[in-house]
Structure 1
């Protein structure tokens, strides 16, 4: 359970803060990106990420827990479970991104855009575990590391080519319909 925040709350009391964050989270899931103040965006991030983690589980209990937080907003819950969760299934966290966009014209409040990160995850390539201590082993090790580097480059190019083909295929299907 998250620790309650100390100091001033957003918009008044703790109940009002829960309602405000629930509404922001629901709109984030429906629109995939919202513009709000930096403070609200920073307070929304842990809540939204926890709800996405529940959605990745996908069972009935997780759905009911999300519904309690989102105050029975069935539209946002459905979008979260049906559309967002499959897109972030491979991601192990970091489902949201906050981008600062300057100050608001009226009251000069710092504004930010909080958005869902729905791009597919590219796995990181692990480096060699240990470096050889002797100079004799250094030469064969250098030759061994060159071959996997070529394989890695080919592996990186293949998904990029598939990703480039996927939008073209989707556009062709839309035109056919």
Structure 2
């Protein structure tokens, strides 16, 4: 018996397609695709979620001092003149950050090997290019998804059959996080 489905693609095309579908599933919570693709994506996604559940509490909180530019009421940087040049004024701030322990860091890197980078673009037309931000999918897995499934032993996804696709009559399904 085969370990995976070839899905009519070469290996690099197949891996890219499965990475894209897995990224979309983790980012959006559900995707619509064919039944065979969904079964392959399910294997990958459940592995990532199991990894996140295992390592979700494996970090320590550290206080760090950081230099941050001082800003005025409009949100612009405050500048003062020194030796005839305008120089930005900085202030020291203490921040709490999560520092991954080695096993969680390894899990994060394994997740990044599978997941693509996601950029969130606002729906409004004005300032779309300027207001884009990167989504940290491993952090989403650790902080949002893993706590939901902490008491579960597998079975993190559900496949619901929708019906046949009009063009080629392939069975379409909805793959969602439970």
Determine if the TM-score, normalized by the shorter chain, exceeds 0.5: yes
Which of 30, 49, 52 matches 1:52? 49
Q: CA deviation at 1:78?
A: 2.7
The reply to whether residue 103 of structure 1 matches residue 164 of structure 2 is yes
Q: How does 1:87-98 map to 2 (within 5 A)?
A: 87-98=148-159
Query: Quick check: which one's strand share is greater?
Result: 2
Q: CA deviation at 1:75?
A: 3.3
Alignment check: 8 A CA contact 1:27 1:76 kept: no
Report the equivalent of 1:39.
Answer: 36
Which of 66, 86, 111 matches 2:147? 86
The reply to whether residue 67 of structure 1 matches residue 122 of structure 2 is no
Q: Cα deviations across residues 131-154 of structure 1 (Å, max 9, x unaligned)? A: xxxxxxxxxxxxxxxxxxxxxxxx
Q: CA deviation at 1:35?
A: 0.6
Describe the shift of the 1:102–1:77 C-alpha distance in structure 2 as closer, same or farther (beyond 3 A). same
User: d(CA) in 2 for partners of 1:77 and 1:22?
Assistant: 14
Higher relative contact order (CA 8 A, sep 6+): 2
State how many pairs are aligned.
113
Query: Quick check: which one's helix share is greater?
Result: 1
Q: CA deviation at 1:72?
A: 4.9
Structure 1: which 4+ aligned runs deviate by more than 3 Å? 71-75
SS in 2 for 1:28: helix
Alignment check: 8 A CA contact 1:104 1:111 kept: yes
| Structure 1 gaps, min length 5 | 118-177
User: d(CA) in 2 for partners of 1:47 and 1:18?
Assistant: 11
TM-score of the aligned structures, taking structure 1 as reference length? 0.59
Describe the shift of the 1:22–1:50 C-alpha distance in structure 2 as closer, same or farther (beyond 3 A). same
User: d(CA) in 1 for partners of 2:157 and 2:175?
Assistant: 7
User: d(CA) in 2 for partners of 1:76 and 1:103?
Assistant: 32
Which of 10, 13, 18 matches 1:16? 13
User: d(CA) in 2 for partners of 1:70 and 1:4?
Assistant: 21
